[in-house]
Chains A and B, each alone.
Chain A
Amino acid sequence: MKFSHKNLLGIAELSQSDILTILNLTNNFRQVLDRPIPIVPALRGKTIVNLFFEPSTRTATSFAIAAKRLSADIVNFAIKSSSVIKGETLLDTAKNIEAMKVDGVVIRSSYPGAAHFLAKHLKAFVVNAGDGAHEHPTQALSDIYTISQRIKKFPDLKVLIVGDITHSRVARSDILAFSKLGAKVAICGPPTLIPIGIEKTGCEIFYKLDHILSEVDVVVALRLQRERQQVGLFPSIREYRALYGLTKERLLKLRRPLIIMHPGPINWGVELDPAVATTPHSVVLEQVKNGVAVRMAVLYALAGGETDAKG
């Protein structure tokens, strides 16, 4: 059980055993979070920078809390008051931050491959906290950890991801993560929001929700990214809700319980009904809670000890 990567760039780079190592570590950190004093000194003296070029509440805060729980110092980089506004490039920004003796960089960017680019140029470890529509590995790891708390055997598991697959980095990381653990993954959404070539990842594609919904154990509802919907990829929000929304009526028709996940932020009444999110089958807030433990596991695996591992 060891994790021999310098960076966490995507689920694509991880093996099944890497994923299991992180899940196992997460379990230990999950216990730490329940202690009266939920802080361990493991990363004392390490400094990590949160480099977020896109808005985020959950992920940035989650990384910050995770770092603090490990006794690392974390610096939040505020984009609006930085020199990025003056036109500084990504590499210059990162190089300057690294020159201040930083051990790790957590990056969120709207450009796919931004984390990979930084990893190539920095000695500090890099964690991808979302790069465009490419990957969001820590979200996927926290999704599979949340499922592993309820269901032990991944090979028997059927997972459905519903919504805007094209613009979703969570969808890509989730498909890879669940598949690597042996689960069957299906995706469902309007044809205009299903990317070309996605079937190469081994997932099945459906365009009608009701039928496939009755066959799966877990459903991941994705946020309808309205900020990216100016070009008219579907007729209206109302129609989207009618066809792909996880409504109370739709779920009541199912014979068996379903675990409901959402990476947040939620468009209430569009992809997910408020009545559904408050049922015991919804694990939305568990995902957030586990997210801290997962990020502790990732930071510990990357920053703990001196490693000269590649990739």
Chain B
Amino acid sequence: MAPPTRPAGSAGSRPPAQGPGRVAHWTASPSLRLVGKRLLMAVPIVLGVSVLTFWVLDLIPGNAAQQLLGAEATPEQVAALSADLGLDRPAVVRYLDWLGGAVTGDLGTSLVSGQPVTPVIAERLAVTGELVALAFVASLGLAVPVALLAAYRPNRMFDRVSMLVSITGLSVANYVLALLLVLVFAVQLTMFPAIGFVPLSESVVGNLHAMVLPATAIAFPLFCFYTRFLRGDLVDQLQGEDYITTARAKGIGPWQVLLRHAFRNSSFGLITVVGLNLGTLLGGTVIVEQIFALPGMGQLMLQAINTRDATVVQACVVVFAVVAVLANLLADLLYAVLDPRIRYGSR
């Protein structure tokens, strides 16, 4: 929803604190302790999310049986199907039933189709995963060089233009962009397909061709955000940090200063932001998936909510939560790897 921000104590504005000058023993390594702690934390978080979802879903009127049968079903038909699907059991029983299976890796069977949920989720996750991955690669791949170039000569033409484009791009809703892309590139110019997904197993080229427009719709706002963020951070570094002044005083060339010093520090913030983004982006692709008819996770969850398929909703939510937690953890880990102050447990 709101743009992610750096967590407290993130890189940049403080001089390195005095810490132990030697390498600590690996079993006492703070980063490993961090990983362990966070993994442990992940369990109650995911559990909390799953309980909340189940409870919320139960509060919505209607159930899978009613949704399936539609508006012309008699109450008797609905009751019969509900009983068939096991929906007349109390909520706690249903939840524990699901939980029991989930813990052993079986995410249950769909209330609606009777098919096992895990393979469906795997398929859909692959699609959304690919979409998000492509979007990230494209947006970061462009954002980093653009931000570097912009920060190299702040307030010159390139900087101003790129910042302008970024802030303009951020002001366009991604669904508007998606619609625009389809109209121009798929219908008018027929350069790319308007809908559909080609599995990688069928054709790599076809797959990428079909993903260009949807990935662009998602990547462009991300690109704008990362460019602005990174450029802002780089400029902050270049102008405020003592170590930069030192480096310059030592005669290190401007590109070196930028890449080896400023960027290295700014990348922490960027990584954290990317990690936070990744977690929230999985569900955020719903509209783009709808417009391009991509069989992804966002669509699956939307369909599952609309058909009140509680098992599938639960499974999706748990997957999202796990991914979000893992993404954050990965970001924090990378952060620890890159920043010796954290690795060696200072401050």
Q: Do the two chains belong together in a single complex?
A: no
Interface residues, chain A, with chain B CB atoms under 8 Å away: none
